[in-house]
């Protein structure tokens, strides 16, 4: 059975100032997502599931989904603030979404095979999709055996401001031992640094980071549901707390429930975190098309 690609596209692109998932950056108006789906198809994925907000379903259907008809099966699921377990309600003043692992939970009824998760607005590169598809293809019927694609932190920064990354540590078997979401990483005086409280901490250029390209089997949904209840109990009073994927992954690793293989890739990541990043991303895509990596028109 071919793995499924699960695309997290519910974010409204607050820093970028618009619906960046629908921004045409390729030579024929392709979005970053289009390149991910093109790479996923040639890498061996068999279906795509998008998680979006109801408010931009119409735009999404017209501008995104139509082009994949007859190319690959697609499904839509929705993430909203009030999609919570029984007994819980949205705290007063909460406007921020519940985070990436809440978005993942929305796929539980439509994904029954090994699946990879990606962000809609990140350009992951051809090799990363081939690498993760290969690993996931060997997981049919297995449980608690997960993976992620690790990028070198120095290759994932924005020239326009700080970025969020999951900083990873691995053991001798190449398995993840911890991943900590750092929400402010940037190059300062030539060094890669992240902010921890009020302190800036330097990290090596080649430190593996998570770019939210994870591989799971369907048992991950049950863990996600159970741990979300614990998360809500603990964070009832914190209207900005987010249920990140690394939060649950850490819990599963620390408690010996699951292992996560860190997969190496030759791909270079890039993305549009800020509006100022746009020209550089357009130029990078153009260069890949000129080099023959992608056709002038994808679909």
The CATH code of the domain that includes 176 is: 3.90.550.10
Backbone angles phi, psi at 83, to 5 degrees: -85, 85
pLDDT for 263 equals 94
Backbone angles phi, psi at 259, to 5 degrees: -115, 150
pLDDT for 17 equals 46
**How far is C-alpha 31 from the geometric centre of its chain's CA atoms?**
16
Neighbour-count burial for 10-34, b at 16+ CB within 10 Å, e otherwise: bbebebbeebbbbbebbbeebbbbb
What domain range includes position 26?
A: 4-290
CA atoms within 13 A on the CB side of 185: 26
What's the number of domains the chain is made of? 1
Domain presence at residue 299: no
Domain presence at residue 295: no
Domain presence at residue 272: yes
Over 80: is that where the pLDDT of 22 sits?
no
Domain presence at residue 36: yes
CA atoms within 13 A on the CB side of 39: 24
Domain presence at residue 139: yes
Give kind and range of the element (H or E) at residue 116: strand 115-119
Domain presence at residue 286: yes
Q: List, for residues 160-213, the tens digit of each pLDDT value.
A: 889 888 899 999 999 999 988 898 999 999 999 999 999 999 999 989 998 999
Q: How buried is residue 154: exposed, middle or buried, by Cβ count under 10 Å (0-12/13-18/19+)?
A: middle
Integer Cα distance of 271 and 88 in angstroms = 35
Please tell me whether residue 223 adopts helix, strand or coil conformation: helix
pTM of the model: 0.90
Closest Cα to residue 221, out of 96, 117, 122? 117
Integer Cα distance of 2 and 136 in angstroms = 8
Closest Cα to residue 202, out of 212, 191, 211? 191
Domain presence at residue 252: yes
Q: What percent of the chain has pLDDT over 70?
A: 96
State the CB neighbour count (10 A cutoff) for residue 225.
12
Please tell me whether residue 161 adopts helix, strand or coil conformation: strand
Domain presence at residue 297: no
pLDDT averaged over the chain?
91
Across the range 62-79, mean pLDDT stands at: 92
Over 50: is that where the pLDDT of 151 sits?
yes
């Amino acid at each position: 059975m071919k793995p499924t690609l699960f695309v997290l596209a519910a974010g409204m692109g607050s820093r970028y100032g618009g619906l960046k998932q629908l921004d045409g950056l390729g030579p024929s108006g392709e979005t970053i997502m289009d390149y991910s789906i093109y790479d996923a198809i040639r890498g061996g994925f068999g279906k795509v599931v998008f998680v979006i907000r109801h408010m931009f379903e119409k735009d999404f259907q017209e501008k995104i989904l139509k082009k994949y008809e007859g190319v690959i099966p697609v499904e839509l699921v929705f993430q909203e603030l009030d999609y919570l377990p029984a007994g819980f309600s949205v705290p007063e003043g909460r406007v921020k979404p519940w985070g990436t692992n809440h978005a993942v939970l929305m796929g539980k009824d439509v994904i029954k095979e090994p699946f990879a998760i990606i962000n809609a607005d990140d350009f992951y590169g051809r090799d990363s999709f081939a690498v993760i598809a290969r690993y996931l293809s060997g997981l049919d019927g297995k449980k608690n055996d997960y993976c992620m694609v690790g990028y070198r932190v120095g290759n994932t920064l924005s020239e326009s401001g700080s970025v969020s990354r999951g900083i990873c540590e691995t053991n001798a078997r190449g398995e993840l031992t911890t991943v900590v979401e750092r929400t402010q990483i940037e190059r300062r005086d030539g060094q890669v640094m992240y902010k921890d409280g009020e302190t800036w901490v330097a990290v090596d250029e080649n430190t593996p980071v998570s770019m939210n390209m994870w591989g799971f089997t369907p048992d991950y949904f049950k863990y996600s549901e159970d741990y979300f209840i614990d998360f809500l109990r603990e964070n009832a009073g914190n209207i900005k707390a987010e249920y990140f994927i690394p939060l649950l992954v850490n819990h599963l690793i620390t408690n010996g429930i699951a292992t996560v293989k860190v997969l190496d890739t030759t791909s270079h990541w890039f993305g549009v975190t800020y509006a100022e990043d746009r020209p550089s991303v357009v130029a990078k895509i153009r260069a890949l098309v000129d080099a023959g990596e992608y056709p002038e028109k994808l679909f």
